[in-house]
A and B are shown apart, each in its own frame.
Chain A
């Protein structure tokens, strides 16, 4: 028998490889989205899909056009550069229909602690407290005005 015939089983194994590779190519053809790689290493169509999503944030300028009283207080305090929707959440729906969509006021005992809980990783000058020691669950706005948190700015507003 020739060497080729004696080594035929090796071609069977190679055939298995070729078959596996072809199956891989077929799966890849159907699995990878058409627009993949159009602009970069991602699905090109994703840009259009994300662009067509409804806008959720109104932007602080929209809030400030109505809530001028809050803007007056906020612009003078330490939170002047904290945008409204950072604390109040996305409010495009409220901006579009202020009468029927009323946002829920955030719970300051939880909200303030997110930024102001003591952490070794925060800069020393950043105001930080251990909430349990500092207020023991009493909402922060009892003493601080969240829009201008220095104590002399007054609480409960």
Chain B
């Protein structure tokens, strides 16, 4: 049989989890990472990253709205998906994810954005016209109180929401890692480190994503990039990336030393089928190169232009690296037989429901949501409601 080497059980020959299941943890990870960046300012009082605070929240929301789509597309039968909420089975990890997702969306992200933007929303509901005015009025939820005292209360509640949001973001993405890590039949996934590795890689990718978006959008708006902000983000990205890389290496060393019955098979894959995506793309190009470059920015005084270029390059490489990591986990975990005697091949389709084009569309879709959110709730200080009212 073409694409099959050695002995595969019949139900292992075709991969059931396609590239869409690669996107699911990738997109969810970007959400968690973007939120953690926002929390740096809100909870940990890292004032330098303030210019990205609102953008990070909107980015998290835009990506979170798309996060379940790969799953729905993969499973088909979208009308059955609400059943996950209506009749959840307590032994189903996926059913519980539905609640984790809804908690994070509504109780954390939407609430925090609403609290942070409430003053702007009220002002915009008074200054804008037509349909937009109606939308803003609905968003005020019938309260136009923006007194100093009420805003202080918002600030305090927002802080608590962010505080709850940090473990929630960890829960959201840790849960994705848990779904893989708890599959004890698959030695490539079954590791208690999986949720932790997923969280840290998510943080790195989300921070890189928001940093790139901030730089790109600021450039598009012909504004000056706040280098102190970008430097600080890059510094945090570097530190978290070191932890992420260390954890992944810890997992690898543990596997090599333990060398259980699956090791020969997994080792063979890392040298053959996953050589490019794991060794070359994920580890060499996607991890070691950005780590080295980010290290250099910490110890050498580069000019602003050089630093910007390094950050854009590192951010892009990190996004590719984390995508490759998701690919190696999801696809890699299905390429070998549980008999450890055979290997199969994944051939990605192009235009099918689970093909490349749909995957590209799903990756781009959050950017359209983000565009709409940025139009509705401008994250830039100079575009805030004050100016809008003043302009009127």
Contact = CB atoms under 8 A, between A and B. Distances in A.
B4 interface: yes
Contacts of A119: 1, 10, 13
Interface residues of B, number: 31
Contact of A8 (B4, B106, B143): B143
Given A10-B157, A118-B1, A16 B141 contact: yes
B89 to A, nearest CB: 5
Interface stretch (A24-32, A71-79, A138-146): A24-32
Nearest to A15: B141
Contacts of A122: 10
B1 A9 contact: no
Given A1-B147, A118-B1, A120-B7, A10 B86 contact: no
A12 B86 CA distance: 26
Interface in B117-158: 118, 140-143, 145, 147, 149-150, 153, 157
Interface string A24-46: 10011001100011000100000
A6 B149 contact: yes
Nearest to B337: A121
A121 B114 contact: no
B85 interface: yes
B285 to A, nearest CB: 34
B145 A9 contact: yes
Interface string B1-22: 1001111111011000000000
Contact of A7 (B10, B142, B150): B150
Contacts of B1: 118-120
A132 to B, nearest CB: 13
B51 interface: no
Interface of B: 1, 4-10, 12-13, 82, 85-87, 89, 106-107, 111, 114, 118, 140-143, 145, 147, 149-150, 153, 157, 342
22 contacts: A1-B149, A5-B145, A6-B145, A6-B147, A6-B150, A6-B153, A7-B150, A9-B140, A9-B141, A10-B153, A10-B157, A12-B142, A12-B143, A13-B141, A16-B141, A17-B106, A20-B106, A31-B82, A119-B13, A120-B4, A120-B8, A121-B9
